[in-house]
Chain A
């Protein structure tokens, strides 16, 4: 599934003269099976952007092209439901969005809504399968959402999105508020889904995750796209990082400081601790 935004601008201003634009002339092409990270300060347009990708918000100016669908302002998109089935969004703090009596019912709400349920498929099996993917066993099916911990609820919410088998999974700050181990487990889940062929779009403030998991990162600043490229190319560019006012992962901080002391280290690309130690040793042996 390919997604492309063409001159996309969006304003929440409902009056005729649109002044405040939350997105300004954004042009991005997202290819099939990417692991794309979206970063930028609070209020920079990240959430507005992802909602434009599946027609939850319609462009004020420009368009979003998703395969055969063209999303434009004031245009009725045929089969909008079909589009939304292809692109699943897990919003921030999805644990607050569970509303059914049991985990099973909550998971099956999406598939029912998209008419994916017929006499031939076993609903329990469908729900069990996605629970397994997020790392919960079948004993959770009959539990009430309020019996679960915060992390478990979040997993159930994600299972509910996976249940209608979207090609693209968009997750908005999925690790906020989780402890570091739970956050790593969550990230490994997205990595697994990515390996299963899904496109992952991750909105995050955790720069370590961007460097470790994403193949590409885009940066928003005040509604404008200010960077589009590889995470390493961004984080290792001191000037750019300063200009865009971006926090860099700890490993890059360590690398940059060590490069100042031992400039030869700058000839190597360091993205994790193992590489750092390996190249540090090489530099010291010279």
Chain B
């Protein structure tokens, strides 16, 4: 099959509230970098938590890498999916960087002798190889998130979920994470990445964008299809990326500028 994630008629509600997700169906293709966009409270994080079985699925079906999410398969699925959450301080478990990366490996019963090599490999991937003995208190938010990503990748997942992984970081930390993601996309073309974000700079470089509103995926498309569609963005309480906004205002002022995806590209066309 070609999908990493399939939702079929999923309905989910918290306690007695009205359903947050209602009869939701969508697919995400394998090997893509997909971005899930939606305003606060649209249900983005709920989708992430359903995929890894942190929330109970009561209505509908979810398939992750062709495996149906159920009691029987949950461990297999969790072995294939890694998630990085928002708060760098809430997911650092080890007393040092190497301990933290080792934590997931120990859970998977990886042989002790093989660990140092794996730890070094993934710490190097996120440029943290010189901090293996460092304690979390000595690390910045961006560094902790990079360690979280290294720990996730060390488990060799088919799917990496980033749930607003950059939203609590300073500008430098954000940049570091986004650089790691672009390296991953280049080096691991088979791994699927699902990023939940409010940052349009992260969305505009995606393969595919899914727009979530009121518990429904209202549109799936390329950044070009989604981010330049002013009506769609407005209807879903989203703001266009900076370059799209500049271009629109230029058009309104009689300046003819083609579609651009970055500030550099825009200036090039001026």
Contact, CB under 8 Å: A261 / B172: no
Closest-CB distance, A189 to chain B (whole angstroms): 16
Determine the chain B residues whose CB is within 8 A of the CB of A151 once the complex forms.
Answer: 40-41
- Report the contact-size class of chain A (Cβ under 8 Å from the partner): 20 to 34
CA A205 to CA B168, docked complex, whole Å: 9
Contact, CB under 8 Å: A253 / B263: yes
Determine the chain A residues whose CB is within 8 A of the CB of B175 once the complex forms.
Answer: 247
Stretch at the interface among A52-60, A64-72, A125-133, A179-187: A179-187
Contact, CB under 8 Å: A207 / B171: yes
Closest-CB distance, A128 to chain B (whole angstroms): 24
Q: Which residue among B40, B140, B142, B168 has the maximum number of chain A CB atoms within 10 Å of its CB?
A: B40
* B103: interface (CB < 8 Å): no
* B267: interface (CB < 8 Å): yes
Number of A-B pairs, beta carbon distance below 8 Å: 82
Contact, CB under 8 Å: B239 / A41: no
* In the complex, per-residue mask of B241-262: 1 if CB is within 8 Å of any chain A CB, else 0: 0100110011001010000000
Contact, CB under 8 Å: A247 / B263: no
CA A32 to CA B16, docked complex, whole Å: 48
Partner of A245, one of B172, B173, B198, B200: B172
- Report the contact-size class of chain B (Cβ under 8 Å from the partner): 20 to 34
**Contact status of A257 and B140, CB under 8 A, knowing A280-B270, A281-B253:** no
CA A42 to CA B140, docked complex, whole Å: 6
* In the complex, per-residue mask of B218-249: 1 if CB is within 8 Å of any chain A CB, else 0: 00000000000000000001110010011001
Closest-CB distance, B69 to chain A (whole angstroms): 26
16 A–B pairs (Cβ distance < 8 Å), ordered by A:
A41-B172, A151-B40, A176-B167, A177-B40, A179-B38, A181-B39, A184-B239, A246-B171, A254-B263, A257-B267, A261-B267, A262-B270, A273-B246, A273-B249, A277-B249, A280-B270
Starting from the known contacts A254-B246, A257-B267, A262-B270, 19 additional A-B residue pairs (CB-CB under 8 Å) come to A41-B172, A42-B169, A151-B40, A176-B168, A178-B198, A179-B39, A179-B40, A180-B198, A180-B200, A181-B39, A181-B239, A205-B169, A246-B171, A254-B242, A254-B267, A273-B249, A276-B246, A277-B249, A280-B270
